[in-house]
Amino acid sequence: MSWIDVGHIDDIPLRGARTVKTRGGCVALFRTGEAEVFATSGTCPHKGGPLAEGIVHGRKVTCPLHNWVFSLETGEAQGADEGRIATYPVRIEDGRLMLDTARLVRSAA
């Protein structure tokens, strides 16, 4: 695994999101709880909507363009929508968000 520091957990508001740029592309980070963060691809596969600007609810995000809902845990589209977003391992170490870029780099290649 190839972990990089992408910021402090307090940089993301509770039930909010931020986009970070990496060498492998943009990643959306979602904070669903005090100490719970998920990392996914930054864009919706439907029309390329910016997922970090979507609504975070539970462990899901709703795309701001056409209301597609994705599980932050699995990346699967919910309900009648079909599709998937990439998910990436992220962990918290002393308040810092550590993103594993190994899968991100492989998918960008």
- CATH number of the domain at 28, please: 2.102.10.10
Burial class (CB in 10 A: 0-12, 13-18, 19+), 33: exposed
The pLDDT, as a whole number, for residue 47 is 87
Question: Which pLDDT band holds residue 109 (cuts at 50, 70, 90)?
Answer: very low
Percent with pLDDT over 70 in the chain: 93
Q: Is 86 within 8 Å of 103 (Cβ atoms)? A: yes
36-85 confidence digits (pLDDT tens)? 999 999 999 988 999 999 999 999 999 999 999 999 999 999 877 778 99
The pLDDT, as a whole number, for residue 25 is 86
Percent with pLDDT over 90 in the chain: 78
Give the pair of three-digit tokens for residue 48.
Answer: 């390329």
Number of domains in the chain: 1
Of 104 and 20, the structure prediction assigns the larger pLDDT to: 20
Global confidence as pTM = 0.90
Q: By residue range, what is the domain housing residue 99?
A: 3-108
Distance of CA 23 to the CA centre of its chain: 16
